Structure 1
């Protein structure tokens, strides 16, 4: 059966675009069943048909819990197998995470556990890191702290700015997310407690994306 994916996004939706392109190309056996945003004008929403869009401003609700109750009900109504946070810029609450725990993924632009949170490219350059990268991990209540499934690395170069580093990383970030989603779509990815299981075995270290876009241990 085709894997059903819901995507949470706050901005342009470049990772969403990569997912949709892979589906169209036949390299990802999946369907995007809904795109959900906290920003009604997010460009990501325009990448799917109106019936697959959902958005609401959190400020229109009395509190975060009320907003997330409506959001989680909307996501659940789409019956996704996997939920992908792809540039979703709000911290998800415990109740939302508990409802979808084990099928909730996030892509984060750093080599976790380094640089949780924002401004990761600038922080890597300020630290003088020789390399930077992105991670796909399971979402848990603690910010960017869930079990890391896979990572991709790029070198930092002399003269890099946060913008040039981000631009160089972005296509590798897309490839990383797609590789992990292919694992998920094949039924080869699961979260058990705080441990990722891949092909039925505990993953002791994150997988790495190689130059041929393969995940290797």
Structure 2
């Protein structure tokens, strides 16, 4: 059976992209990264992709009349490459049904909180401000809502006394970089099943 071809969508540093690329390189993850999609051509993740030998589709949203317009172009790029799974890894754009509907059940996102707590922007800062004692990382399917899709896997990160945004972010990102490749691997092996909002692994 051919390897699952994935596309990683990212907008920034690309640490989660790097974790996936490293796992593929080290043969801990049996997939092929077929494409990086990035809405910021100068983002550091673009250089990471180049070093990993991954082709990138770069675009500037302001050059398109609407989100739907550039998503149609992205969709064509994905279909051309036989992409079977989209991984949102720090992609800071709201998605429309143009992408969500054809890839429902084949698009996942990593979020730095224990959803449904603290969805949206700055989940880490929200958790600190609220004063929770535990937060964490969620990998979930994308359904078009705000971090509202069915949850695949979660890991807890304790909030320590004196934590700053930077110190908590460092621990959360480390968990993201382990959990995301794990989930991708389980999907690639056919071990993840989706039934309504219920997701089972194994």
Q: Same fold (TM over 0.5)?
A: yes
Whole-Å separation in 1 of the counterparts to 2:54 and 2:156: 37
Q: Which residue among 105, 118, 137 is the counterpart of 2:140? A: 137
- Counterpart of 1:98 in structure 2 is 101
Structure 1 window deviating more from structure 2 (23-32 vs 41-50): it is 41-50
Whole-Å separation in 2 of the counterparts to 1:11 and 1:59: 17
The answer on whether the counterparts of 2:33 and 2:54 sit within 8 Å (CA) in structure 1 is no
Whole-Å separation in 2 of the counterparts to 1:11 and 1:194: 30
Whole-Å separation in 2 of the counterparts to 1:110 and 1:31: 28
- Counterpart of 2:187 in structure 1 is 184
How far off its partner does 1:5 sit?
Answer: 1.1
How far off its partner does 1:27 sit?
Answer: 0.7
Q: Which has the higher contact order (CA 8 A, sep 6+)?
A: 2
Q: Where do 5+ consecutive residues of structure 2 fail to align?
A: none
Whole-Å separation in 1 of the counterparts to 2:72 and 2:126: 34
- Counterpart of 2:72 in structure 1 is 69
Query: How many matched pairs?
Result: 199
Whole-Å separation in 2 of the counterparts to 1:191 and 1:77: 26
| SS of match in other structure, 1:163 | helix
| SS of match in other structure, 1:19 | helix
For residues 178-213 of structure 1, what are the alpha-carbon distances to aligned partners after superposition, in whole Å with 9 as ceiling and x for unaligned?
Answer: 1111101111113344332433xxxxxxxxxxxxxx
Whole-Å separation in 2 of the counterparts to 1:58 and 1:112: 28
Q: Does 1:84 align with 2:87?
A: yes
The answer on whether the counterparts of 2:36 and 2:54 sit within 8 Å (CA) in structure 1 is no
| SS of match in other structure, 1:173 | helix
How far off its partner does 1:51 sit?
Answer: 6.7
- Counterpart of 2:123 in structure 1 is 120
How far off its partner does 1:48 sit?
Answer: 2.5
The normalised TM-score by structure 1 is 0.87
- Counterpart of 1:16 in structure 2 is 17
After the TM superposition, list the runs of 4 or more consecutive aligned residues in structure 1 that deviate by more than 6 angstroms: none
Q: Where do 5+ consecutive residues of structure 1 fail to align?
A: 200-217
- Supply the RMSD in Å over aligned alpha carbons: 1.4
The normalised TM-score by structure 2 is 0.93
Whole-Å separation in 2 of the counterparts to 1:198 and 1:171: 22
